[in-house]
Amino acid sequence: MNNLKEKLYQKIQEHRPRITQLLEEHGDTVIDNVTVAQVIGGMRGIKSLVTDISYLDPFEGIRYRGFTLPEVLAKLPKPDRANMPFVEGLYYLLLTGEIPTKEEVESLVVDFKNRRVVPRYVWDVIDAFPSNSHPMAILSAAVMSLERESHFSSNYKNGINKMDYWSTTYEDATNLLAKMPLIGAYIYNKLYHPEKGHRYPDPSLDLGGNFAYMMGKDSPYDDVSRMYFIIHADHESGNVSAHTGHLVASSLSDIYYATSAMINGLAGPLHGLANQEVLRWLQGLMEQMKGEIPSEEDLKAYVWDTLNSGQVIPGYGHAVLRKTDPRYTVQREFCLKNMPEDPLFKYVDALYKVVPDILREQGKAKNPWPNVDAQSGVVQWHYGVTQYDFYTVLFAIGRSFGVLSNIIWDRALGYPLERPKSITTEMLEKMVEPK
Ligand code: AMX
């Protein structure tokens, strides 16, 4: 076992009795009530999932294993001359709850490199897609094609012990995470730069650095990649992508099935696709302005036009958050430091000053503040990734770290098949009838 897997095993052994004790001593204790509005309204806020990987406070935003994003970015070891940490170190943190030393991360970086060879048939699957396919559809299929590599599935067929499910799941998850950036870069080059061809990985580089290299991007795009993958990694368990991954894996489908499914959920415009929607919306504004700098009145009119035509303002609002998303803030600070004069960034910043008031005045959105997606595309655009269909692929690579860490722990703690109860509308009506 490598040092991360050993440490993880130790943490699993320590954690298992806590779940057993909760179930045995408090299995019938009520911790939440459910309202009609929650049942009809997408189960908002019902406490019905457990995860220790991350927690989303409505006012503070996400914490990974108790650490805020600025703390994660400050504490995790960084490659030499980089300003953003190793993504591999984040995986260590998500799985164990501990900040790794630089030596521990460097050994994990080597492990990731050893796992990143992508079988030839995956490139064939990607190449078979028409060039006008959405990159998320291609990514999902590419991940799915790797299913035949699953150690969990082959061991399950041979009657593996339940207590060891986590171990083969760890192998599958780490193998897939090491390959995902290569698959993402291959899709990017195939769709948008077929003339340049495929770049082979650089054995000297960490995950983020190699992704930038394979995308054909110079520094600081390596740091952009590290930042991007880290801030998108997890947002507790109830969001569509994380929940889908957990749900599918709960039937003991292996992580290839579960990851492909979570990618499909992320591809919706209310979730991961919102970052491409933001760019499309900003472009619309820029076209309308014909190169002129918009006044505050122009911006307000554009926002109201969008709302009055029955559309949402992309990049604003959130199902749980009730403040500006710290993932927005991390990227804003990156922009202020590295690209303050970028025209799109200036638009985004100017909109930040008018959108929240307008959403409050309209009175529908429970959260008028920007979410992660209001900034993400702008950073990518600045560094030449202008094909905004691709942005959700970057989100998916990052999100896989959280989803897969969760699934490894689900297996370790023996969480069962997910099976909530549904009822009919008539039953609901009867339940609320005055007695
Ligand atoms: N612009 C306009 N209206 C908005 C809005 C926005 N940004 N956010 C919410 N609303 C509206 C909803 O459409 C809903 O209207 P309805 O009553 O007519 O159906 C009403 O406000 C109440 O919605 P809510 O409870 O505040 O939000 P929600 O939990 O139902 O949905 C979200 C959350 C993110 C889907 C929603 O805010 C939205 O559509 N935002 C724009 C898309 C976006 O940025 N998505 C990215 C989210 C982050 C992520 O997952 N990547």
Per-residue pLDDT at 61: 94
Q: How far is CA 214 from CA 201, 218, 248, 337, in A?
A: 6, 10, 31, 25
- The 8-class DSSP code of residue 293 comes to P
Q: How confident is the model at residue 399 (pLDDT cuts 50, 70, 90)?
A: very high
Which protein residue's CA is at the shortest distance from atom 13 of ligand 1? Answer: 312
Per-residue pLDDT at 370: 96
Average pLDDT of 135-161?
A: 97
Tell whether 359 is covered by a domain: yes
Tell whether 300 is covered by a domain: yes
Q: What does the angle CA 117 – CA 144 – CA 172 come to, to the nearest 5 degrees?
A: 55
Q: How many domains does the chain have?
A: 1
Tell whether 223 is covered by a domain: no
Average pLDDT of 212-231?
A: 97
Report the share of the chain in percent with pLDDT over 90: 92
Per-residue pLDDT at 276: 87
Q: How confident is the model at residue 293 (pLDDT cuts 50, 70, 90)?
A: confident
Per-residue pLDDT at 355: 97
Has residue 100 got a pLDDT over 90? yes
Whether ipTM > 0.90 holds is yes
Please give the Cα distance from 20 to 24 (Å, whole number). Answer: 6
Tell whether 98 is covered by a domain: no
Determine whether the shortest distance from the Cβ of 403 to ligand 1 is under 6 A: no
Q: How confident is the model at residue 135 (pLDDT cuts 50, 70, 90)?
A: very high
68 Cα–ligand 1 center, Å: 24
Determine whether the shortest distance from the Cβ of 312 to ligand 1 is under 6 A: yes
Mutate to test the pocket of ligand 1, among 43, 364, 369 (most ligand atoms within 8 A of CB): 364
Per-residue pLDDT at 289: 87
- Identify whether the C-beta of residue 40 lies closer than 8 Å to the C-beta of residue 302: no
Which protein residue's CA is at the shortest distance from atom 44 of ligand 1? Answer: 315
Name 148's Cβ contacts closer than 8 Å, sequence gap at least 6. none
Determine whether the shortest distance from the Cβ of 365 to ligand 1 is under 6 A: yes
- Domain range for 316 is 274-382
| pTM (whole model) above 0.80 | yes
Q: How confident is the model at residue 348 (pLDDT cuts 50, 70, 90)?
A: very high
Has residue 1 got a pLDDT over 80? no
| Mean pLDDT score of the chain | 96
Question: What dihedral do alpha carbons 112, 114, 119, 122 form, nearest 10°?
Answer: 10
> Per-residue DSSP letters for 251-263?
TT--HHHHHHHHH
Tell whether 285 is covered by a domain: yes
Tell whether 135 is covered by a domain: no
Q: Report the amino acid identity of residue 74.
A: A
Q: How far is CA 370 from CA 203, 341, 357, in A?
A: 38, 21, 12
Q: Kindly provide the b/e burial profile for residues 341-371, where b requires at least 16 CB atoms within 10 angstroms of the residue's own CB.
A: ebebbbbbbbbbebbbebbeeeeebebbbbb
DSSP reduced 3-state for 64: strand
Query: 234, 373, 382, 410: which is the annotated catalytic residue?
Result: 373
Determine whether the shortest distance from the Cβ of 271 to ligand 1 is under 6 A: yes
Per-residue pLDDT at 197: 86
Between these two residues, 270 and 409, which has the higher pLDDT value?
Answer: 409
Mutate to test the pocket of ligand 1, among 56, 302, 318 (most ligand atoms within 8 A of CB): 318
Please give the Cα distance from 147 to 151 (Å, whole number). Answer: 9
Q: 20: which 2 tokens?
A: 């057993």
Q: How confident is the model at residue 317 (pLDDT cuts 50, 70, 90)?
A: very high
Q: What is the CATH number of the domain that holds 280?
A: 1.10.230.10
Tell whether 303 is covered by a domain: yes
Average pLDDT of 70-95?
A: 98
Please give the Cα distance from 78 to 66 (Å, whole number). Answer: 20
Q: What does the angle CA 142 – CA 146 – CA 149 come to, to the nearest 5 degrees?
A: 170
Q: 413: which 2 tokens?
A: 């703690």
Tell whether 316 is covered by a domain: yes
Has residue 298 got a pLDDT over 90? yes
Q: What residue spans of 146-272 are helical by DSSP H?
A: 151-157, 165-192, 207-215, 221-231, 240-250, 255-266
Which protein residue's CA is at the shortest distance from atom 3 of ligand 1? Answer: 312
Has residue 430 got a pLDDT over 90? yes
Helix axes 3-26, 391-412, angle to 10 degrees: 60
Determine whether the shortest distance from the Cβ of 313 to ligand 1 is under 6 A: yes
Clarify whether 243 is annotated catalytic. no
Please give the Cα distance from 389 to 273 (Å, whole number). Answer: 8
Clarify whether 232 is annotated catalytic. no
Region of poorest pLDDT, from 88-92, 194-198, 361-365? 194-198
The highest-confidence range among 56-60, 96-100, 271-275, 286-290, by mean pLDDT, is 96-100
Please give the Cα distance from 224 to 239 (Å, whole number). Answer: 24
Model confidence over 231-274: pLDDT tens digits?
Answer: 999 999 999 999 999 999 999 999 999 999 999 999 998 998 88
Which protein residue's CA is at the shortest distance from atom 16 of ligand 1? Answer: 364
- Identify whether the C-beta of residue 276 lies closer than 8 Å to the C-beta of residue 391: yes
